[in-house]
Amino acid sequence: MRSTERDTAGQVAEAGVSAPPDSVLGRVALLLSAFDDRSPRLGVSELARRTGLAKSTVHRLTGEMEAYRLLAREGTEYRLGGWLFELGELVPTTRTLAEAAQPIMEDLREATQQRVHLAVREGTDVVYVSIMGGTAMGLMSRVGGRLPAHATGVGKVMLAYSSRAVIQEQVAAGLPQLTPRTIGTAQELELELRRIRSIGMSLEAGESHEGIACVAAPVFGANRRIIAGLSLTGFAGKIDPVTLGPAVRTAAFMLSRTLREQGI
């Protein structure tokens, strides 16, 4: 699964200038996005290679970034710095959402013995905000990881309760195929979203990763607008919508109510 997760470099490339980002901020962003799951520690030369920046530029920038704890040195290499973790925890909604969801997710995991996912939408991707249920079932989703919304259970259920503009944006992004079963056309998506609205949850089987299935339900905020998606995920054989569906839906309702009470 890891291999199909979008890395942030791709995100940044999408976000704007790609080849030579002619601004300091662009270069800094490029440097930050050079780090990922598989390469958490990088040297100056490697960073220069990945970003296309001059080695001297990288050297100076990394030095300055270290001063602000955006990066940290370990020997002669750099890793992402502690300030990023602290800032990440200050990002509104994600933190409060994860906190409010924690007990509910624990109960849901306990009751179903499946992996529980909480995700929000960021543009055309979903971002996992909290995950419960060990890494026993292999690499897989990661907190902070991204996946195209139309290819995941949580993503589809969030799209189903989103505005038309959001769905059009999703279609415009091209509906990339993660597996042969990924939804590929606007018509298919439209149909699927209608089906989801009619049953109040979304099902997914092998649309994001071969052999993995998922049941997801929508989480609403104070204003009745969709905020997040809650899902149970596991190997295709283990996920039975008939038994698990009501469980996720109940948990999602409970979370929605909690959020409403807290004014989130």
Residues near DNA (CB under 7 A):
20, 22-25, 27, 43-46, 49, 53-57, 59-61, 76-77
- Closest CB to a copy of itself among residues 26, 184: 26
CB 27 within 8 A of CB 53: yes
Q: Which of 1, 13, 111, 143 binds a copy of itself (CB under 8 A)?
A: 143
Q: Does 122 bind a copy of itself (CB under 8 A)?
A: yes
* 113: its two tokens: 């013995």
Q: Does 255 bind a copy of itself (CB under 8 A)?
A: no
Q: Does 79 bind a copy of itself (CB under 8 A)?
A: yes
Q: Does 75 bind a copy of itself (CB under 8 A)?
A: no
Q: Is the dihedral of CA 252, 253, 258, 262 positive or negative?
A: positive
In DSSP terms, which residues pair with 132 in a beta bridge?
Answer: 116
Which one of a copy of itself, DNA, none interacts with residue 43, CB within 5 to 8 A by kind? DNA
Q: Select from 221, 264, 250, 261 the least CA-distant residue to 105.
A: 250
User: Of the listed pieces 77-85, 158-166, 171-179, 208-216, which binds a copy of itself according to CB under 8 A?
Assistant: 77-85
* 156: its two tokens: 């589809």
Helix/strand number for the chain, H first, E second: 10, 9
Tell me how far apart the alpha carbons of residues 51 and 31 are, in angstroms, rounded to a whole number. 6
Contacts of 150 (CB under 8 A, 6+ apart): 124, 156, 159, 170, 175, 182, 183, 189
- Closest CB to DNA among residues 54, 222: 54
Tell me how far apart the alpha carbons of residues 81 and 84 are, in angstroms, rounded to a whole number. 6
Tell me how far apart the alpha carbons of residues 185 and 81 are, in angstroms, rounded to a whole number. 41
* 121: its two tokens: 């939408």
Which one of a copy of itself, DNA, none interacts with residue 80, CB within 5 to 8 A by kind? a copy of itself
CB 47 within 8 A of CB 34: yes
Q: Is the dihedral of CA 74, 25, 8, 215 positive or negative?
A: positive
- Closest CB to DNA among residues 49, 69: 49
Helix (H, G, I), strand (E, B) or coil at 106: helix
Which one of a copy of itself, DNA, none interacts with residue 160, CB within 5 to 8 A by kind? none
Tell me how far, at minimum, the Cβ of 17 lies from DNA, in Å. 10
- Pattern of binders to a copy of itself over 25-64, x per CB under 8 A? xx-xx--x--xxx--xx-------------------x--x
Under the rule (CB under 8 A), what is the footprint of a copy of itself? 8, 11-12, 15-16, 23-26, 28-29, 32, 35-37, 40-41, 61, 64-65, 67-70, 79-92, 94-95, 99, 102-103, 106, 122, 127, 129, 132, 134-135, 142-146
